[in-house]
């Protein structure tokens, strides 16, 4: 038996650990395009900031592959999957057979085809260690940076490099920053915070075209720059399985991480997942979900039994010491709290918590997250108490005894 | 494995567990000296309301969501104890986002903090349990 895993990030590593929970013997091979030990992708902005190092941002210890008795092929790219022959083909031409295959190929930056972009000499994306190294090497105190995209990636990049360059301007088509995770007033709050640190914004406008070191904006303004960072979104890497499995927005999988093809599993950013907070299938390129989906795939590949059916969008992100935690979807009635350093919105309907946004004070946010993930009926807890303050006090005594005392319900 | 369990009905709400937690962490011999003039930021705390009180700290889950969700690999399970490697932690707070007990909290040293059952302290076993005057928290096997 040989299990082959394409991808060496959260989902791939989750799968290795999942397989080893069940089966200590089976041969496991991980294939990675990047020539590196597994590393934390979201840590790259902290690397540029100097808050971590390439050594510390390793996602697992140096002896991980040995301990897991797992073969790692680094710097090799799978170019073809042959489902009938149960083989994958590598870029150098060699062929590897598999009994079960996991595709955890992640996502890649999506860059729209701006006019004149090919004439911009210093342009970067910001998703991988190589991206961070290239951008890091180009940073100088006299450089002006333009970041296109005020989402999670664009803004973490802005935070990571602000101290190392002359100026950072962030541009977005949307009227607000972090539009995928914040609503208007929260976005405004975070924008003010970022502006106070020195980041400039141009919102509700896009790039019409680039003219070497200048971006001509749709609103008529011209923004000059030395370095251009394109953070305009990501898209799932599904090409390897095109015409082999069902693909919609991403690779379609069930709660066992199985694709529509026998013995082929998929997990992480390359897949689409059921968001149980909204009931919709969507792409959720988030590390915790990727790990859990990968682990689930690994357990099931090894003939164990695991389901991952609690996926919701969720983000923990911070800028210059101000923390933001969000989860779920923002529909229904709204509980609002705005006091100094505490911005809170809870969204609920039909006796369920759908989502929440916390800015500033984020303590015990996980208690809200669990209400969404477990679809807890709000009439089974003291909802008005938990709105005010997340805590276990809002649960019944019996549930507390179970949670804190392991006493069965 | 032995874990810290809560007997809510015995909790007096005295908060001594919080002070013992900070004392245990200090690795000092004398409690009064260890805690003099400091604001404690314990890894166990009392929730209390209308005469009900109980202690909350890390459950050392068998399937810890915080470990699975940690984006840098800073949280791991070592001999059953959910452990934080403060060197690797970047304080992204994903663990705070996911822990259903609210048991991981921010700290002043650039990393998150959580109960590690005092395995890294000179006590070796949970100081909070030693200090609880009424058996409201215990360190035992409950499966």
The predicted model gives A230-251 an average pLDDT of 97
Q: Is the pLDDT of residue A406 over 90?
A: no
Q: In terms of CA atoms, which chain B residue is nearest residue A392? A: B101
Chain A residue nearest residue B76, CA to CA:
A60
CATH code for residues B1-57+119-143: 3.30.70.20
- Do A2-108+234-301 and A117-230 have matching folds? yes
Mean pLDDT score, A234-247: 97
What pLDDT does residue B27 have? Answer: 87
Query: Can you give chain A as a three-state secondary structure string?
Result: CEEEEECCCHHHHHHHHHHHHHCCCCEEEEEECCCCCCECHHHHHHHHHCCCCCCCCECCCCCHHHHCCEEEEECCCEEEEECCCCEEEECCCCEEECCEEEECCCEEECCCCCECHHHCCCEECCCCHHHHHHHHHHCCCCCEEEEECCCHHHHHHHHHHHHHCCEEEEECCCCCCCCCCCCHHHHHHHHHHHHHHCEEEECCCCEEEEECCEEEECCCCEEECCEEEECCCEEECCHHHCCCCCECCCEECCCCCECCCCCEEECHHHEEEEECCCCEEECCCCHHHHHHHHHHHHHHHCCCCCCCCCCCCEEEEEECCEEEEEEECCCCEEEEEEECCEEEEEEEECCEEEEEEEEECCCCHHHHHHHHHCCCCHHHCCHHHHHHCCCHHHCCHHHHHHHHHCCCC
From B106's Cα to the closest Cα of chain A, the distance in A is 8
Name the residue among A43, A362, A405 with its Cβ closest to that of B7. A405
Q: Per-residue pLDDT for A199 more than 70?
A: yes
Residues of B with CB under 8 A from a CB of A: 3, 5-8, 47-49, 52, 54-56, 59, 65, 68-69, 71-73, 87-88, 90-102, 104-106, 110, 142-143
A115 pLDDT more than 70: yes
pLDDT bin (cut points 50, 70, 90) of residue A167 is very high
Give CATH 3.30.70.20 domain extents, chain B: 1-57+119-143, 61-114
Q: Which residues of chain B have pLDDT under 70?
A: none
The beta-carbon neighbor of B71 closest among A42, A370, A405 is: A42
Residue A407 has pLDDT above 90, yes or no: no
pLDDT at A341 over 80: no
Assess whether pLDDT exceeds 70 at residue A15: yes
Question: Within a 13 Å sphere around the CA of A26, how many CA atoms are in the beta-carbon half?
Answer: 26
| Residue B104 with chain A: CB contacts under 8 Å | 366
Q: Closest approach of chain B CAs to the CA of A35, in angstroms?
A: 18
Chain B residues touching A291 at Cβ < 8 A? 68-69
pTM: 0.97
Task: Find the residue in B nearest to A318 (Cα).
Answer: B92
Q: Is the pLDDT of residue A70 over 90?
A: yes
Whether B98 and A295 lie within 8 Å, measured CB to CB: no
Q: Which of B47, B87, B97 sits opposite A314 (nearest CB)?
A: B97
Contacts of A10 in chain B (CB under 8 A): 71
- Average pLDDT on A159-181 reads 98
Residue A251: what pLDDT? 98
What per-residue confidence (pLDDT) applies to B39? 93
**What angle do helix axes A287-301 and A10-22 make, rounded to 10 degrees?**
30
Domain boundaries defined on chain A: 2-108+234-301, 117-230, 321-405
Best of A364, A368, A400, A408 to substitute, by most chain B Cβ atoms within 10 angstroms, is A364
Is A327 in Cβ contact with B68 (below 8 Å)? no
CB contact under 8 A, B88 and A52: yes
Q: How far is A404 from chain B (nearest CA, A)?
A: 6
Size of interface A-B (CB pairs under 8 A): 130
Q: Are B65 and B75 in contact (CB under 8 A)?
A: no
CATH topology of domain A321-405: Enolase-like; domain 1 (3.30.390)
- Complex confidence, ipTM: 0.97
Contact residues, chain B, for A315 at CB < 8 Å: 97
Distance between A333 CA and the closest CA of chain B, angstroms: 22
Q: What is the pLDDT of residue A409?
A: 65
> Average pLDDT of A346-366?
98
Residue A180 has pLDDT above 90, yes or no: yes
Higher pLDDT, B122 or A298: A298
pLDDT given at position A308? 97
Q: Which CATH architecture has domain A117-230?
A: 3-Layer(bba) Sandwich (3.50)
Best of A404, A406, A407 to disrupt the B interface (most B CBs within 10 Å) is A404
Contact B73/A292, CB-based, under 8 Å? no
Contact flag B101-A57 (C-beta cutoff 8 Å)? no
- May I ask the CATH class of domain A2-108+234-301? alpha beta
**Partner-chain contact A52 B102, CB within 8 Å:** no
- Mutation target to probe the A interface, by most A beta carbons within 10 A, among B96, B104, B140, B142 is B96
By Cβ distance, the residue of A51, A61, A393 closest to B47 is: A393
Could you give the CA distance from residue A210 to residue A223 in angstroms, rounded to a whole number? 10
Tell which CATH architecture fits domain B61-114: 2-Layer Sandwich (3.30)
């Amino acid at each position: 038996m040989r299990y082959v895993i394409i991808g060496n990030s959260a989902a791939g590593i989750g799968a290795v650990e999942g397989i080893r929970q069940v089966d200590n013997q089976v041969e496991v091979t991980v294939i990675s395009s990047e020539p590196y030990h597994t590393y934390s992708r979201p840590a790259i902005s902290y690397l540029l900031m100097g808050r971590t190092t390439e050594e510390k941002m390793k996602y697992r210890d140096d002896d991980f592959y040995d301990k897991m008795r797992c073969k790692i092929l680094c710097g090799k790219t799978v170019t073809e999957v042959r489902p009938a022959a149960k083989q994958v083909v590598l870029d150098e031409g060699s062929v590897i057979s598999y009994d079960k295959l996991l595709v955890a190929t992640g996502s890649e930056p999506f860059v729209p085809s701006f006019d004149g972009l090919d004439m911009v000499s210093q342009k970067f994306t910001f998703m991988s260690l190589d991206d961070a190294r290239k951008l890091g090497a180009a940073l100088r105190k006299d450089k002006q940076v333009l970041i296109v995209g005020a989402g999670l990636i664009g803004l973490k990049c802005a935070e990571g490099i602000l101290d190392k360059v002359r100026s950072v301007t962030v541009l977005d088509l949307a009227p607000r920053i972090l539009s995928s995770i914040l609503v208007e007033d929260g976005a405004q709050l975070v924008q003010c915070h970022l502006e106070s640190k020195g980041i400039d914004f141009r919102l509700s406008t896009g790039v019409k075209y680039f003219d070497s070191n200048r971006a001509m904006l749709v609103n008529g303004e011209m923004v000059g720059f030395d370095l251009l960072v394109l953070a305009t979104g990501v898209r799932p890497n599904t090409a390897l399985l095109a015409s082999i499995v069902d693909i919609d927005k991403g690779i379609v999988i069930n709660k066992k991480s199985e694709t529509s093809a026998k013995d082929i599993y998929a997990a992480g950013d390359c897949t689409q997942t059921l968001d149980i907070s909204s009931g919709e299938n969507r792409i959720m390129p988030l590390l915790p979900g990727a790990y859990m989906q990968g682990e689930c795939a690994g357990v099931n590949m090894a003939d164990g039994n695991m389901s991952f059916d609690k996926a919701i969008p969720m983000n923990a992100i911070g800028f210059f010491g101000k923390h933001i935690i969000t989860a779920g979807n923002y529909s229904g009635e709204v509980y609002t709290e705005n006091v100094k350093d505490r911005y809170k919105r809870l969204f609920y309907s039909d006796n369920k918590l759908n989502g929440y946004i916390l800015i500033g004070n984020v303590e015990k946010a996980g208690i809200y997250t669990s209400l969404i993930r477990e679809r807890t009926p709000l009439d089974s807890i003291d909802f008005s108490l938990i709105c005010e303050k997340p805590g276990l006090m809002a649960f019944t005594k019996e549930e507390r005894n179970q949670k804190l005392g392991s006493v069965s319900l | 494995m032995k874990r810290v369990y809560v007997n809510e009905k015995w909790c007096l709400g005295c908060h001594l567990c919080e002070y013992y937690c900070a004392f245990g962490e200090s690795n000092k011999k004398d409690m009064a000296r260890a805690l003099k003039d400091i604001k404690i930021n314990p890894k166990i705390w009392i929730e209390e309301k209308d005469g009900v009180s109980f202690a909350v700290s890390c459950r050392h889950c068998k399937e810890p969501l915080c470990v699975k969700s940690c984006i840098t690999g800073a949280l791991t399970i070592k001999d059953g104890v959910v452990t934080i490697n403060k060197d690797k932690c970047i304080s992204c707070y994903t663990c705070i986002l996911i822990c259903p007990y609210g048991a991981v909290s921010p700290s002043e040293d650039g990393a998150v903090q959580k109960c590690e059952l005092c395995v890294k302290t000179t006590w070796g076993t949970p100081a909070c349990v030693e200090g609880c005057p009424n058996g409201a928290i215990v360190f035992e096997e409950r499966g």
